[in-house]
Amino acid sequence: MHQYVGLIVLFPLIGLFINGLFGRKIKNEKLIGSIGSGAVGLSFLVAIGIFVEMLGMPAEERGSVVTLFTWIAAGSFKVSAAYQIDQLSIFMTLVVTGVGFLIHVYSIGYMHGDRGFWRFFTYLNLFIFAMLNLVLADNYLLMFLGWEGVGLCSYLLIGFWYDKKFDGVGITWTGDAGNKAFWVNRIGDFAFMIGMFLIFKEFGSLTFNEVMGGAENLAVGNSNVFWITLLLFIGATGKSAQIPLFIWLPDAMAGPTPVSALIHAATMVTAGVYMVARNSALYALAPDTMMVVAVVGALTAIMAASIGIAQNDIKKVLAYSTVSQLGYMFLALGVGAFTAGIFHVMTHAFFKACLFLGSGSVIHAMHEEQDIRHMGGLKKVMPKTYWTFLISSFAIAGFPPLAGFFSKDEILWKAFADGSGVLWAIGALAALMTAFYMLRMVTLTFEGEPRWAADKHPHESPSSMTIPLIVLAALAVVGGFIGVPAVLGGGNAIHQWLHPVFAQAEKTMALPEHHNHALEYALMAISVAIAISGAWFGYRMFKKDPEADGRISSKLGFIYNLLSNKYYVDEGYDGAIVQPVVKTSDRFLFGFFDVRIIDGIVNGSASLTAWVSRLMRTAQSGVVQNYAALIVVGTLIVLGLIIIG
């Protein structure tokens, strides 16, 4: 099966071309949707085939590289379009194609009647194609191709409804939100590229296998590796929305909801996590970078969670929740728990995709209303959406034995054991907030009395939308069982599966084995208590009084305003970076440099020519006798020269 890995990437490409070239003519939504979803479904089946085959092999034979063709060859520099199949890449491929397939199916229902229906599926297929290149690439350059490709799709899909208004700092149209995402990502991509150049300088190759092989000979604390890993991590902060580059993700909610689910929750934003995990052997050599990763992750987790408490847009809450959960993943990576980070990528993909799709179902039913203060009482009219949404909320809040419990608990335990108590405390506090705002949102949306206008008639969504919800909710329930920790008597299958990929990093870091089961149980109990109390608090407070926000803001005005305005980060960036850049461009680059220097050179050469011409023109008097006199003078000079010579 290994040799068929090209097919995984090929199917979305075919779907992309069919829908992209003929979609406008096909017009049949069912057909367009089936082509788009079918392409991803086929990729998923091939990925399962490869996965099953890998299961049947001994662990050390599971990795392989399939080279399709030589992409770039220049002297000693050679890059191939080659796909690396190993435990990590096939795992990510399964998540991308599996969740991607469900979201494609959901989109058939959600995008029904949209005039850009075919365009939407073309972009989605392009996204899957780019994302698969990202996770399957065997070298940094091909990965970067996918990395940029998903960024492009993100831009295209955020601004999909380009003529729709969208409100944000410096943003009036959805297209502006797309631009913002693109620009912020550009900063990270720049760092990623510098990191890539440094890798080539240090290791003389861009393939993962050769770089990791070269890393074996390097000492821990190597300064080049420190810069490489730090630059790659800055790239990851852009793509995966970490401090300081997280600001684009909440505005990315301008796109259609399936896009938010697929790109801005389940798959693309986890690319940074995957990239760091892929380079685990390098990161293990740079403990300083690891510390940075862990601290940035923890701070992002708590900052975004606290913002999520005070948001009223259902998608904004989920967006900040995504940023916060991504922070957890980086916290895990930073303390060396690569498996836990990847595990959380998977469980998060399940429940967050389900939550976003559920919110899409709600928005659909409420006729594009997104403000949860104007919802309420939807439990009765859309029970399927309610139950799947509730289950996923419990999963993200960390209720045992749902998926989120296992992955989040493992991250917190590793943060405590291999990191520090402070990191654990920040993570635990963020978990408390997560449970609180999730249940606040559920309560305001589905419970209590309806607060919507009487002329709205919410209804349950069609089955093409509810079936993916049910499948994802089911995955959010059972997904965690592949990572049941040993203390709970589980085999922790995902650890054993991914172990060969991270073996080199684990050997380098030489983290101690933990046998303090009592402590692990205690922390687990605290996690559960946190989840339950946060959820209970959120439920009670907003069940009793949907207007509780107003009460809080009158008491804690300053803090509440700080949170609901997202710590004024956007305003701060606007004032500190955007406006100075705009002003510099306007006043210096345009007003001075362009107008004076560039235009000055152009106009100057013209006026110099004119000036010289004015001088020369005086000889051309138009009086024939002057010319005749000059002829005489010339003749005399020539004669004189002949006579003298």
Partner 1 sequence: MIPIHYYLILSAVMFITGVVGVLTRRNAIIIFMCIELMLNSVNLTFVAFSSYLGNATGQMFVFFVMAVAAAEAAVGLAIVIALFRNKQTVNINDVNILKW
Contacting positions for partner 1 (CB under 8 A): 620-625, 628-629, 632
Q: Which helix (H) or strand (E) holds 284?
A: helix 280-284
User: Nearest distance from residue 586's CB to partner 1, in Å?
Assistant: 43
Cis ω on the peptide bond leading into residue 383 (within 30° of 0)? no
CA dihedral 439, 469, 407, 349 (to 10 degrees): -110
User: Nearest distance from residue 617's CB to partner 1, in Å?
Assistant: 8
User: Nearest distance from residue 615's CB to partner 1, in Å?
Assistant: 15
For partner 1, which is the closer residue by CB, 595 or 628?
Answer: 628
User: Nearest distance from residue 620's CB to partner 1, in Å?
Assistant: 7
Residue with token string 């209303």: 369
151, 185 contact by CB (below 8 A):
yes
For partner 1, which is the closer residue by CB, 624 or 644?
Answer: 624
For partner 1, which is the closer residue by CB, 478 or 633?
Answer: 633
DSSP code, position 2 = G
For partner 1, which is the closer residue by CB, 555 or 617?
Answer: 617
Q: Which of 562, 545, 566, 544 is nearest to 553 (CA)?
A: 562
Number of neighbours of residue 456 by Cβ within 10 angstroms: 13
Cα angle: 280, vertex 281, 287; to 5 degrees: 80
CA–CA separation, 397 vs 355, rounded Å?
12
348, 458 contact by CB (below 8 A):
no
The number of residues in the chain equals 645
User: Nearest distance from residue 603's CB to partner 1, in Å?
Assistant: 24
For partner 1, which is the closer residue by CB, 612 or 629?
Answer: 629
User: Nearest distance from residue 605's CB to partner 1, in Å?
Assistant: 23
User: Nearest distance from residue 622's CB to partner 1, in Å?
Assistant: 2
497, 87 contact by CB (below 8 A):
yes
Query: Reduced to 3 states, what is the DSSP secondary structure of residue 103?
Result: helix
CA–CA separation, 591 vs 55, rounded Å?
65
- Return the structure tokens found at 568: 């004024």
User: Nearest distance from residue 630's CB to partner 1, in Å?
Assistant: 10
326, 242 contact by CB (below 8 A):
yes
- Return the structure tokens found at 284: 């293990």
- Return the structure tokens found at 144: 């970067």
For partner 1, which is the closer residue by CB, 525 or 629?
Answer: 629
For partner 1, which is the closer residue by CB, 622 or 645?
Answer: 622
User: Nearest distance from residue 616's CB to partner 1, in Å?
Assistant: 13
- Return the structure tokens found at 100: 């991607």
For partner 1, which is the closer residue by CB, 607 or 625?
Answer: 625
CA–CA separation, 408 vs 340, rounded Å?
8
Q: Which helix (H) or strand (E) holds 201?
A: helix 174-203
DSSP code, position 314 = H
User: Nearest distance from residue 587's CB to partner 1, in Å?
Assistant: 43
CA–CA separation, 142 vs 83, rounded Å?
9
- Return the structure tokens found at 123: 């972009």
Buried b (16+ CB within 10 A) or exposed e, 404-413: bbbbbbbbbb
For partner 1, which is the closer residue by CB, 521 or 627?
Answer: 627
User: Nearest distance from residue 625's CB to partner 1, in Å?
Assistant: 5
For partner 1, which is the closer residue by CB, 510 or 624?
Answer: 624
- Return the structure tokens found at 318: 């989920």
438, 393 contact by CB (below 8 A):
yes
For partner 1, which is the closer residue by CB, 518 or 643?
Answer: 643
For partner 1, which is the closer residue by CB, 58 or 622?
Answer: 622
Residues near 235 by Cβ (< 8 Å), separated by ≥ 6? Answer: 147, 188, 189, 191, 192, 195, 272, 275
User: Nearest distance from residue 611's CB to partner 1, in Å?
Assistant: 17
